Chains A and B, each alone.
Chain A
Amino acid sequence: MSDFPWLSVLVALPLVGAFVVPSLRGTTAKQVGLGFSLATLVLSVLVAAQYELDGGMQLTETYEWIPAFGVHFALGVDGLGLLMVLLTTLLVPIVLLAAWREDEVDNPAHVDGNPQGKAHVFVAWALALEALSLAVFLATDVFLFYIVFEATLIPAYFLVGGFGRVGRSAAAVKFLMFQLAGGLVLLVGVIGLYVVSAQAGSPSYLLSDLMALDIDTTAGRWLFATFFIAFAVKAPLFPVHTWLADTTGRATPGTSVLLVCVLDKIGTFGMLRFCLGIFPEASQWATPLVVTLALISIVYGAFVAIGQDDVLRLIGLTSLSHFGFIVLGIFVFSSQGGTGSILYMVNHGLGTAALFLVAGYVIARRGTASIRELGGQEKVTPVIAALLLIGGLATLGLPGLSPFISEFLVIIAAFDYAWYVGAVAVTGIVLAAIYVLWMYQRTMTGPTPERATADEDLSLREGIAVAPLVVALVFLGFYPAPLLDAADPYVGDLMSHVGVTDDPPEVTAPAADHAGDEHAEEGEH
């Protein structure tokens, strides 16, 4: 079975679903779509079962694709990729289940009369997005990565533009323009890599070939800049974040989960794999600027979130703050920082997904997302209120829930890097407490308005959708070892790769060396 193309099948399965579902209608479409996403989840678990924890690219597949461009269809999975794949395959069925009734007529969230009976379209685009996202996390050829990276925008655009609240069409265009602009900047870098690779001999886009390439310092820094800008738009990072809140504010909560919790991870994923992997020297050179931007994102995102009136915009902006933490962890160049960032990517996905979906439940009942008009919900729907609180507490990093660990690691790494960087980052946690708890207080407590008294509490379907998230948040909060096992070898490899061309920052040297040594020993066996 070792030759079985596991990863290709993993990518192909949801894609097949995306082609099958449009021919179905209504509930059948939803059931078949859910079936495909669950099958994908099972397949990804099987892939994880075969993954060996000692790091490196595994289950690799390489086929020639466009010889004239030096392009291969090459897939592989490493610790980082595996976690992202599992996060994606977990979230998609959850979103499909949570959005089960999105297309139905009596849903008051869609005051503009959301097109009815379009469930099959939503499910098909969601599955297409899943397939392309998986391909992004598995691609080991830069050209292939670029293609699927851009292709994810098409389902995302139709998800934002086709479903959601008034103004979604304009939001979809803004989203697409930002992403495509970032993507075209990346195209310059991808083309530049071809030129560099052609100058070094024969042109190739394989990640392994490119990582071995000795890129001239100036060229490397320019190319790094193109990659970084594209990923910063995607992540998003200040100052190219402005599409984020507009998009989450207009899209359905389910779409927002797919965008923020899966698609945006491509940004930070790309920084780790491509910026640090191909341009280690330039990454270190850019550290001061990137760290500054990350800190601004943390603080600014939190402040803007506090001022929001729209729940979905608020949750979107908290992500700006969180992506600031992730980027900070990546660019302080230490084992704790790297591991913390990868854990953060997973935990943020779980926590924010819970928050978005539960907020969506509330909005579906009350027909408004305005914090000012909500209130008193905890008396009529106590279970939903409790779930919102759990999602919120996870987001603000309460110990015992999994985001705490990753946030803690990143902040330690930040203090190691420089005390003032750590000090600024810590304010993000304080501000998070404000925006989460204040939002909870205004939406859930207080007098219950007349028209909300008949609201039903959590339904079974809604409960099943968020239960895995809550369980994961609590379980990984007490026992993060599975995540650490997957992330540690990867970070070790990465740090030694980065350390090859330049000394790591002095304060983090022991940790980085330690991880590097481990890797070296394994290499000798």
Chain B
Amino acid sequence: MEFTKPVLAYAEIWPLIAVLGVACLGVLAEALLARPHRHRAQVLLAGTGLVAALVGTVVVGTRLDEVADGAARGVIGGAGSVVVDGPTVFLWALVLVFSLMGLALFAERKVEAGVSVFAGQAAALPGSDAERQAQGLDHTEVYPLMMFAIGGMMLFPASGDLLTMFVALEVLSLPLYLLSGLARRRRLLSQEAALKYFLLGAFSSGFFLYGMALVYGYAGTLDLGGIDLAIRNGSGNTGMLTIGLGLLLVGLLFKVGAVPFHSWTPDVYQGAPTAVTGFMAACTKIAAFGALLRLLYVGFGADRWTWQPVLGVIAVLTMLVGALLAVVQTDVKRMLGYSAVAHTGFLLTGVLGAQAAGDLAVGQVTSLQAVLFYLATYSFATLGAFAVVTLVRDASGEATGLDRWAGLGKRSPLVAGAFAFFLLSMAGIPLTAGFAGKWAVFTVAMSAGAWPVVLVAITSSVIAIFFYVRTIQVMFFSDVAEGTEPAAVSVPSMLTSGTIAVAVLGTLVLGVVPGPLLELAADAGQFIR
């Protein structure tokens, strides 16, 4: 094995450092600034940090050195623990773009009449005097928390060893547990969601840690490249390896919300403040799939025959359960939660399409390329959809019951139209981004011979279409039932309307001309080891 000098590669990992640094500055600002200035300062700080990191990511991306005869580009920094390669840069860019859109939703104050959508004082008991006194307050800590989460999301898919991956997992999860519990309205539901998320998340982290220990026992190293080498050499107790891999997968599949580790998804999606749900639905999925891909392709690529069948079964279950349970939902946020589960299944279908480079024709879509592209298409639609949910309100806050949305298309055709467009994209109707994404992941799975999974994926798509179409039908062709107060659309500030506009534009552009982004994903090349 070639000796590698411990390089930190600050020049490549600085976007990550910038995000974490801004998070620390945010904590300082919280301590030093007077309350009235905090909101503006925090939003400005977080926004600047994200934009700087995004610019940095693009710069880093254009300067990566080629390795392995041009098949991949990148550098292993952070003394072996942070890998900045093509896919990492691509995922960083995605996380940052959608974080910026999420930040806009966090900062929206107009729909709640001048205060943020987060609880005035999270520690106040729901229904108590303390809560009423905190009505006009804001929790501006949400911005540093968000930045920490984003830092973890960036580190997660860039981890070069299992320990870093675990730390990143915790760094991204803990702020999210907190954020989930901070809703201003329906606080009990929100706190319940946070607790569920935390408990189940803690368990899954435990699984991950246990798996890590077993894999260490097999390979004698936590380094992903080292694990790969150990598997290729084929020594040691493969039972330990298989169980270890299984436990690692439990931890990661929990984060992406795959069946049977999905049960938190609808509850948390429903209970968390909708801005957090949108941010989390898009960015966590990107980060967790990035980590999953790196773990499976780099660390366990040689052990493909072990995990592919398991993942196939999980993909099938995830798609079917997600789609079927979404059909019976009467709450828009829960429906979107189950739809997120179904989309995890579609993404896993793409992961199954892993093939040796030699088996592919020149210019054929690769599995990594397909999954990266799908993540982008799905995130635009899901973030946009949740942004619309924040706007449909009545006197007591967001009205998420589907019956309340009846006739929305007649009262607010633009907002309902945007929502319908996102749903059509999730359903995979041509000329929307979702179609190109679906096509890509199904194609790579089919090329790799996983046609039974593709058939199930198609079946689930048919089922999924039913509930997407039903929602559109309720919005455009139904009248409000007697005794139900119809929800109205609050006029948001530029922040939310801008987010929705960007999401619509992204969904449309990626649907009509998906070529450039697919090329970018192809240029990202392979993971480096």
Contacts and interface: CB of A to CB of B under 8 A. Distances in A.
B518 A66 contact: yes
Given A67-B515, A188-B454, A150 B430 contact: yes
Nearest to A144: B430
B159 interface: no
Interface stretch (B54-62, B462-470, B495-503): B462-470
Residue from B360, B363, B436 with most neighbouring chain A CB atoms (10 Å): B363
What are the nearest 4 A-B pairs in CB distance?
A: A147-B430, A68-B518, A169-B477, A198-B361
Interface stretch (B167-175, B307-315, B438-446): B438-446
Interface in B438-490: 438-440, 442-443, 446-447, 454-455, 458, 461-462, 465-466, 469-470, 473, 476-478
Contact of B361 (A147, A154, A202): A202
A168 B478 CA distance: 11
Contacts of B442: 187-188, 191
B477 A172 contact: yes
A181 B469 CA distance: 13
B361 A201 contact: yes
A397 to B, nearest CB: 37
A507 interface: no
B439 A192 contact: no
Given A67-B519, A147-B431, A191-B442, 17 more contacts: A65-B513, A65-B515, A66-B514, A68-B519, A151-B431, A157-B469, A169-B477, A173-B469, A173-B473, A181-B462, A187-B439, A188-B458, A190-B439, A191-B443, A194-B443, A194-B447, A203-B364
Chain B interface size range: 35 or more
Nearest to A154: B429
B435 interface: yes
Nearest to B465: A180
B470 A184 contact: no
B429 A177 contact: no
9 contacts: A66-B436, A69-B440, A147-B435, A148-B430, A150-B435, A168-B477, A173-B470, A177-B465, A188-B455
B469 A203 contact: no
Interface in B329-371: 360-365, 369
B424 interface: yes
B481 to A, nearest CB: 14
A108 interface: no
A483 B477 CA distance: 42
Contacts of A80: none
Residue from B364, B435, B440, B522 with most neighbouring chain A CB atoms (10 Å): B364
A146 B436 CA distance: 12
A161 interface: yes
Contact of A202 (B363, B430, B455): B363
B377 to A, nearest CB: 13
Interface string A41-73: 000000000000000000000000111111000
A177 B514 CA distance: 26
Given A177-B465, A198-B361, A187 B518 contact: no
A13 interface: no
A412 to B, nearest CB: 40
A176 interface: yes
A192 B518 contact: no
B513 A199 contact: no
Contacts of B369: 68
A111 interface: no
A84 to B, nearest CB: 20
Given A150-B430, A151-B429, A184 B461 contact: yes
A472 interface: no
A184 B431 contact: no
Contacts of A172: 473, 477
Nearest to B521: A68
B447 A195 contact: yes
B430 A70 contact: no
Contact of A66 (B447, B466, B513): B513
A150 B435 CA distance: 10
Residue from A68, A146, A150 with most neighbouring chain B CB atoms (10 Å): A68
A69 B439 contact: yes
B462 A191 contact: no
A449 to B, nearest CB: 33
A192 B449 CA distance: 11
Contacts of A400: none
Contacts of A192: 446
A185 interface: yes
A468 interface: no
B363 to A, nearest CB: 6
A460 B466 CA distance: 43
A155 interface: no
A153 B430 CA distance: 10
Contact of A154 (B424, B440, B454, B515): B424
Nearest to B438: A187
Contacts of B470: 173
Contact of B473 (A153, A169, A184): A169
Contacts of A67: 363, 515, 519
A459 B379 CA distance: 54
Interface string A431-447: 00000000000000000
A67 B362 CA distance: 12
A173 B472 CA distance: 10
Nearest to B360: A198
B363 A70 contact: yes
A463 interface: no
A68 B430 CA distance: 17
B522 A68 contact: yes
Interface in B412-450: 424, 427, 429-431, 435-436, 438-440, 442-443, 446-447
Residue from B424, B427, B439, B469 with most neighbouring chain A CB atoms (10 Å): B439
A151 B443 CA distance: 20
Nearest to A65: B515
B473 A146 contact: no
A6 B499 CA distance: 39
A146 B515 contact: no
B433 to A, nearest CB: 12
Interface in B81-131: none
A162 interface: yes
Contacts of A146: 430
Given A146-B430, A161-B473, A203-B363, A169 B439 contact: no
B143 to A, nearest CB: 38
Contacts of A202: 361-363
A214 to B, nearest CB: 16
A158 to B, nearest CB: 8
A188 to B, nearest CB: 6
Nearest to B448: A195
B81 to A, nearest CB: 33
Interface string B505-526: 0000000011100110010000
B364 A198 contact: yes
B424 A169 contact: no
A169 B454 contact: no
Contact of B443 (A147, A184, A195): A195
A433 B333 CA distance: 55
Nearest to B460: A184
B458 A185 contact: yes
A185 B364 CA distance: 22
B468 to A, nearest CB: 10
Contacts of A187: 438-439, 442, 458
Contacts of A180: 427, 462, 465, 469
A141 to B, nearest CB: 13
A171 to B, nearest CB: 11
A121 to B, nearest CB: 10
A305 to B, nearest CB: 28
Residue from B365, B430, B436, B455 with most neighbouring chain A CB atoms (10 Å): B430
Nearest to B474: A169
Nearest to B431: A151
Nearest to A66: B515
A190 B447 CA distance: 12
A188 B470 CA distance: 24
